[in-house]
Structure 1
Amino acid sequence: MRKVVLFMHVSLDGFVAGPNGELDWISYDQDLMDAADEIVKTVGSPIYGRVTYQMMENYWPTLLNNPESTQHDIDHANWIEDIGKIVISKSLKEVRWNRTTLINENIAEEIGKLKQEPGKDLVIFGSPSIAHTFIDLDLIDEYRLTVSPIVLGRGTRLFQEDKPTKRLNLLSSKTLPSGVLVLHYEAKKEQ
């Protein structure tokens, strides 16, 4: 059975985006790119919310014919073009990017069906609103977090206030030279 994994960059104080959605605080260097590439190897289908999906759809295909693209950019762009993508959105009525499935209702039921299919994991990339929905629906099996050594003070939180306690088992941790922590947790399912 496939797992639902949340992959998210987080500030030390628990924010996943700045007050205006900015991500420029992430210490994205070669070590973090390598850590992210290891997670990408586990992906059977990426899951996006509408905003992240539209950002990805408008960005990655342009790199395939861009002479300034690095080999890493081209490899990732080819990967994302070829892989089956899942978009969770109530506002989108259709998706045009190849190999994309739109889920706009019965999220828990539809994700449950996808988990039963053979293959690699279903991984949420960014998409804080989808992360919140999946956390509320208790759909996340593992958390793959990179914690940047910065305190933002405000923005979009990963874990919202006034929600039930979530217990996690630490599966692995690694400290990168930049001070970024790469954490891998398994969600304990409440009995």
Structure 2
Amino acid sequence: MRDLVVTENITVDGVIDAAAGWFTVGNDAAADQSDILAELAAHTAACDAVLFGRVTFEEMRGYWPHQDDDETGITDDLNQIQKYVVSGSMTDPQWQNSTILRDLDGVRALKQQPGADIVCTGSIQLVHAMIAAGLVDEYRLFVYPVVLGRGARLFAEGVDLPKLRLTESKQFRSGVMLLRYRLA
């Protein structure tokens, strides 16, 4: 069985909504982010599939395939890796190596197939549903030294939260921390 890994960029106060502009990895040419990019490359090498909700998938599809000056390698990785989008309405993903899953049963079936990690990033509605359904095996949280006070959070109110154990912590030059948790 494959592990389903949720990877999120998150503020110190638990917000994962990047709309406020606090998330800049790969976009801030002035900052040396080579250590974070190397970590992301290692995570990419350990997975063979990415999973998105429809909104995040459409945002990614609208941006990454059209980048011709990306020096981070993210464009090539995303274009080549097998992508899955959970959507009840999409009929054509319009991005190479993409497959539509209709619901969480499709995610469960994907986890049963042989292969490496499946990584889900962004996709907060899907992540909330997968947490509630007990489908997440690991959380990789890139914690930014930012406090927003409001915005979408990783763990929704009213949901039974999983018991977690810390398996790794790593600090990057920018002050960002990687915290990896598995189910306890």
Q: Normalized against structure 1, the TM-score is what?
A: 0.85
- Runs of 4+ aligned structure 1 residues displaced above 4 Å come to none
Aligned match of 1:32 in 28, 31, 36? Answer: 36
Q: CA RMSD in A?
A: 1.6
Instruction: Give 2:153's aligned residue.
Output: 157
- Answer with 117-126 or 26-35: which moved more: 26-35
Instruction: Give 1:91's aligned residue.
Output: 89
Aligned match of 1:168 in 140, 164, 170? Answer: 164
TM-superposed CA distance for 1:127, in Å, is 1.2
- Asked if the contact 2:155/2:161 (under 8 Å) is kept, the reply is no
1:177 & 1:78 partners in 2: Cα distance? 25
Q: Deviations over 1:113-153 (max 9, x none)?
A: 21222221110011111111111111000001011111100
- Asked if the contact 1:134/1:140 (under 8 Å) is kept, the reply is yes
2:78 & 2:92 partners in 1: Cα distance? 19
1:165 & 1:131 partners in 2: Cα distance? 13
How many correspondences in the alignment?
Answer: 177
Gaps of 5+ in 1: none
Gaps of 5+ in 2: 26-32
Q: Deviations over 1:66-105 (max 9, x none)?
A: 3xx1433xx3322222221100122323322122111123
Instruction: Give 2:175's aligned residue.
Output: 179
2:85 & 2:7 partners in 1: Cα distance? 15
- Answer with 52-61 or 4-13: which moved more: 52-61
Q: Normalized against structure 2, the TM-score is what?
A: 0.89
Matched, 1:54 2:58: yes
Matched, 1:147 2:137: no
% same residue: 33
Instruction: Give 2:71's aligned residue.
Output: 71
Instruction: Give 1:8's aligned residue.
Output: 8
2:22 maps to amino acid: W
Secondary structure of 2:92's counterpart equals coil
- Answer with 80-89 or 145-154: which moved more: 80-89
- Asked if the contact 2:48/2:117 (under 8 Å) is kept, the reply is yes
